[in-house]
Chains A and B, each alone.
Chain A
Amino acid sequence: MIDAIGAGLWALIGNPGTMGLMLVAVFIGIIVGATPGIGGRLSIALAIPFVFGMDMTQGAVFLLTMHAVNGTSGQISSIMFGVPGDGDDAATTIDGYPMAKKGEAGRALGASITASGVGGIIGAGVFAVMIPVLEPVVLAFSPAEFFLLAILGITFIAFLAGKGQIFKGMIVGLFGMMLSTVGMDPQTGTPRFAGDYLFLWDGLSVVTCVLAVFAIPEMIALASRGGSISSVSAETASFSYRQLFDGVLEVPRHWFLALRTSIIGALIGMVPGLGGSAAAWMCYGHAVQTSKTPERFGHGAVEGVIAPETASNAKEGGSLLPTLFFGIPGSSGMAVLMGAFLILGIQPGPAMITQHLDLVWTLIWALVIGNLIAVSFLLFITRWVALLTFVNGAILVPFILVLVTVGAYANEGQWENLVILMGISVIGWALMRWDWPRAPFVIGLVLGKIAEESLHKALGLWGLGFFTRPLSLVLIGMILVTIAYAIYTNARGKNVMPVGAPS
């Protein structure tokens, strides 16, 4: 283990090329995070064409770093202008914006940027601590459990899709799984749903499907919503570096809160489907509950900025755990990342512990160092990054479209993927239009092949008796409890999520 920790760090800092790429990833992540209309998962999807040809480690470090620092710059507009970039940042607005209105924008920004960085680093630490704990569990899993884990993953994601969405989520997840069966059947060699189209024999490209379901519908929404900034208040927040530094010091002053919310955030991240907004809101609630002066919250309490920021960034480290070791993406952002990992030749699963532990440690170090760089960088350039808030998202649409099509085409170098992109985009758009969750689709698509392979292996080894293995029974129990609880909450009209929807 110690060797892997050292090798992981050396693979990062001992390679100027990788470090250079990481700096580029931090810079792009910051810019993209502050630009309205481009979320974390879209930015990963757009970056995919740029990692073709990179080696496994460099590509993974580049994408993960970009994804990890995305949220750090996202809160700038919440604090300075009261306009949250996305769901994760809404909780920060509650106290951040009143602070800015009181002339404490710098303090709020300093606290939020530092808290976000600290959260990211502690989240990576929690992930690292969990490796030796989870190692025997991961290695104890046989093909039977991996099949059930895939089903549990979809059930979880569907369950967390929100009120009234459980069945929709499961249907969409199964749709993803169904599409994963397109192509040559591994058992009989029969081309399924592929006809005479040879390009379909290898199956549908995960990247093309992800871009179709997420990127194109988001772009259509961005372009059609349109809109322009109608009025900018004359007193938009201004601040000094002294104020910013004072804000930085607020995090060590509230170190215990930052530590607690980071750990909570990382643990929430480990539950597939619970997005950053859930982590942020739960930790905001925790900060209120544990404060001796809860009445200050909502009126500019700095703890109200620290808690959600640490949590929403710490969850990235946590969500990496199910993604890498079980092949179950912790969030839809992680699902996109996992698709990209597959392209790079990284196969999530137990092999990550047995064969690629140094790569896992490199990714953990990338989270730590990436967050450190992002915080130091952002503290100096915040006021300029804030200007990106005023970029009209609609102008970005044609450029994003070029990147999306390149991502779909360059993956396999086949023009047919552009046709597939259009076809599945229609379904992705329809899902968005009629308020069906889209994240389970990607999870189902990614897990489908693993599930099929595991199912065949399990049936070959134990026949139908694999359902009665002790670990299988535990997983079956969890699947049934998840479904039963979702049906119960649905019938009672409760939302399974405290506030906000999962990302």
Chain B
Amino acid sequence: MILLRTPMTFVMIAIFATMLYIALGYPEGARFMPLVVGVPALLLCALQLVLDLRAPHKEHRDERSEMEKAEERVSQMTGRRMEFEAANIAPAFTVEENQESEAASRERAIWAYIIAFVAGILLLGYYIAAPLFLLFYLRSEAHCTWRKAATYTAIGSAFILGGLTFGLKLKLHTGFVTGMLLSMM
């Protein structure tokens, strides 16, 4: 339960403890800096853990709009009661953000996409993986039509990959599988 309430503190403790343990095996000069940094860091983590445990289970949620909060803080700063008209005027457009559950599932999807994309680059290289993944994302995630997705992909790939390769003469990764196939040909 404690772990669920304060996961990041435990992650940090684990990282520092592991690195310190490894550092202890180094010669004196080499372990000096990791110890100088790691020991105080572990102490701070312990202090943070105490703060986490003492904190109330659920933070009080401030339901006020950003403008209302700004009203209060500028009033505190200036010592006079401020009223901002913008707090009462609706913006010219609103952005409908995803619900929490939908956002969480999209978060998982984008993680999967990123991991697959990086794996794609490693195996197939930039010149094959980047256009493929751009097209896939624009069609499936951004809900573009095939024509639009293909156009954006072509323009984006030409600008980014073409610009970097021919304009700036950067050597991009060609991919392990692609490289192997090319060497066999």
A interface residues, Cβ below 8 angstroms from B: 49-50, 52-53, 80-83, 90-91, 93-95, 97-98, 101, 164, 167-168, 170-171, 174-175, 177-178, 181, 185, 187-188, 190, 192-193, 216, 219-220, 223-233, 235-237, 281-282, 284-285, 288-289, 294, 297-300, 390, 392, 394-395, 397-399, 401-403, 405-406, 409-410, 413, 415, 418-419, 421-422, 425, 427, 430-431, 434, 436, 448, 451-452, 455, 498-499
Contact = CB atoms under 8 A, between A and B. Distances in A.
Nearest to B117: A401
Nearest to A221: B107
Given A167-B47, A216-B114, A395-B138, A82 B8 contact: no
A422 B97 CA distance: 26
B29 A185 contact: yes
Contacts of B150: none
B110 A188 contact: no
8 contacts: A223-B110, A224-B110, A227-B95, A227-B98, A284-B74, A392-B142, A398-B137, A415-B173
A83 B170 contact: no
Contact of B141 (A101, A178, A394, A419): A394
A240 to B, nearest CB: 19
A227 B143 CA distance: 12
B137 to A, nearest CB: 4
Nearest to B45: A171
Contacts of B133: 398
B17 to A, nearest CB: 11
B114 A401 contact: yes
Contacts of B22: 193
A218 B55 CA distance: 28
A90 B71 CA distance: 12
Contact of B164 (A101, A236, A284, A410): A410
A236 B74 contact: no
B97 A81 contact: no
Contacts of B19: 178, 193
- The 3 A-B residue pairs with the shortest CB-CB distance, nearest first, are A82-B91, A81-B92, A285-B77
Most buried by A among B40, B48, B78: B78
Nearest to B76: A498
Interface of B: 7-8, 11-12, 15-16, 19, 22-23, 26-27, 29-30, 32-34, 36-38, 40-41, 44-45, 47-48, 51, 66-67, 69-71, 73-74, 76-80, 82-86, 89-98, 102-104, 106-107, 110-111, 114-115, 117-118, 121-122, 126, 130, 133-134, 137-138, 141-142, 144, 152, 156, 160-161, 163-164, 168-173
A285 B11 CA distance: 40
A487 B84 CA distance: 33
Contacts of A294: 78, 80
Interface of A is mostly: helix
B115 A452 contact: no
Contacts of A284: 74
B20 to A, nearest CB: 9
A312 to B, nearest CB: 15
Contacts of B84: 94, 298
B37 A177 contact: yes
A88 to B, nearest CB: 13
B93 A192 contact: no
B93 A81 contact: yes
Given A227-B97, A230-B96, A409-B172, A220 B38 contact: no
Given A93-B86, A224-B110, A298-B83, A281 B94 contact: no
Contact of A187 (B30, B73, B78, B82): B30
Most chain A CB neighbours (cut-off 10 Å) among B44, B89, B171: B44
Nearest to A410: B170
B11 A430 contact: yes
Contact of A192 (B11, B30, B82, B170): B30
Nearest to A237: B92
